[in-house]
Amino acid sequence: MKLDCFKSYDIRGRLGETLDVAIAKRIGAAFADVIGARHVVVGHDARATSPALKAAVIEGLTATGANVSDLGLCGTEEVYFATGHLEADGGIMVTASHNPIDYNGMKLVGPGARPVDPQTELPRIRAVAERGDWSEASTPGTKTLVDTRPAYAERVASLSGDLAGRSFRILANAGNGTAGAAFDAVLDRLGRQGARIDVTRLHFEPDPSFPHGIPNPLLPENRAATAMAVRAQGADLGLAWDGDFDRCFFFDERGDFVDGEYVVALLAEAALAREPGATIVCDPRLVWATTHAIDAGGGRRVLSRTGHAFLKARMREAGAVYGGEMSAHHYFREFFHCDSGMIPWVLVLSLLAASGRPLSAHVAEMRERFPSSGEINFNVPDPGAALEAVEESLGAEAVDADRLDGLSLTFPDWRMNLRASNTEPLLRLNVEARGDRALVERKVAEVSELIRDAAGVAAE
């Protein structure tokens, strides 16, 4: 049996075609068999098919003798936290995050909430699931409903710094996913610590039909509702999450969306305010704003390949306090080196409280110093050929070039990264400059033409 739902880092499949309850049971059993798990944490998102898929995963896990701690309806990071907090052998979150409504999937972690190795463990889990040759126990394992949300909220709130007596107004859009209950738990904990936070809630009830669309604020067309509500409520900060809330997106007090690379820089600044001189890990797509923040905080910058498995591993190697990707995945040492969609807004509140300046002022300064293109996607039949063509044309002029993740070329007044997506058949371009937005536009046009000439395609 061939299982095409296994992807580079996790599991995603079209319902009834590449993923169903029978396959989910196989994956649960294979996971326990390969990891050697005796205790596994599981949870599920708000999609209509998630409870049944989770039940099948649990059936597979318990068939091998593994005991299951079931968190019920929750966010991905709650499974990560509970896996580490309960000292379980692994965790499985049933979620399709921001994928279309006819998809679902799973995110897998091992002991300490570390990623399942995409080069060794994940292929072995797939092989065992396809063959169906896991070892069944004579006595099945047990399932226990567990509530770790109070401990989770306490951990998140513990990173807030001193917000006692501070007042904020927040617009929070949960997108009918699972963020609402976790947000309220964190908010309650911050209130007990003395913070005064007035919240306007938007689309907070989990709804598997997603009446306002699949929650994915990374898409520009999905931002209007949050932006308009921020302006209407006079909020200091707007927040929006994807379906399983492991990604948090920010809007300033004017309702303007904050680009991902500037959020990484803000969180690096906040992390270094808590721990001066610490190490920060970031991906190589857009780095100048983050590098400036790290230098200003006396920190050390370490680059990592894009992708959660690579970045989490690099954080552990480097002893980093924080790691960030411009795609809105943010990782924290105190959170088992995992990504969280709740810790970022808590840290940004701390930064705003300390500075006394609105979020727009912080972001405007970075946008002026380090304007960027945002990510531009190309459908390219041969990414390697396009990369070589760009390097051949521009590489000799660069003051620095590396291939840590695709091709990064640095020039005196601008920089670019061109890389193939890990999950889609796309070539992704990012360009940044020092204080010259017109230069960004010119270089985007120049590199885009090189890509089109090499591959005969147009930008999306």
Which residue carries 């995409």 as its tokens?
118
The structure tokens listed for 296 are 């200003």
Show which residues are catalytic. 97
Q: Distance (Å, rounded) from C-alpha 180 to C-alpha 201? A: 8
Which residue carries 């820089």 as its tokens?
265
Cβ-defined contacts of 403-409 (< 8 Å, 24+): 404/284, 404/303, 404/304, 404/305, 405/283, 405/284, 405/285, 405/304, 405/305, 405/306, 406/284, 408/284
Cβ-defined contacts of 216-222 (< 8 Å, 24+): 216/98, 216/242, 216/243, 217/173, 217/175, 217/241, 217/242, 217/247, 217/249, 217/257, 218/98, 218/242, 218/247, 218/249, 218/260, 218/327, 218/328, 220/257
Cβ pair 74, 180 in contact under 8 A: no
DSSP 134-176: PPPPSS---EEE---HHHHHHHHHTTS---TT-EEEEEEE-TT
The structure tokens listed for 163 are 């917000």
The structure tokens listed for 436 are 């010259």
Q: Distance (Å, rounded) from C-alpha 200 to C-alpha 324? A: 27
Cβ pair 431, 444 in contact under 8 A: yes
Nearest to 239 by CA among 268, 193, 204, 271: 204
Give, in order, the Cα–Cα distances in Å from 150 to each of 81, 154, 183, 358, 426: 11, 6, 11, 31, 41
The structure tokens listed for 430 are 């990012």
- C-alpha angle with apex 338: 36 to 118, nearest 5 degrees? 50
The structure tokens listed for 177 are 């996913």
Q: Which residues pair with 409 in a beta bridge?
A: 401, 416
- C-alpha angle with apex 249: 70 to 268, nearest 5 degrees? 95
Nearest to 52 by CA among 12, 10, 23: 23
DSSP 70-110: EEEE--HHHHHHHHHHTT-SEEEEE--TTS-TTEEEEEEE-
Give, in order, the Cα–Cα distances in Å from 118 to each of 42, 224, 280, 294: 20, 36, 23, 30
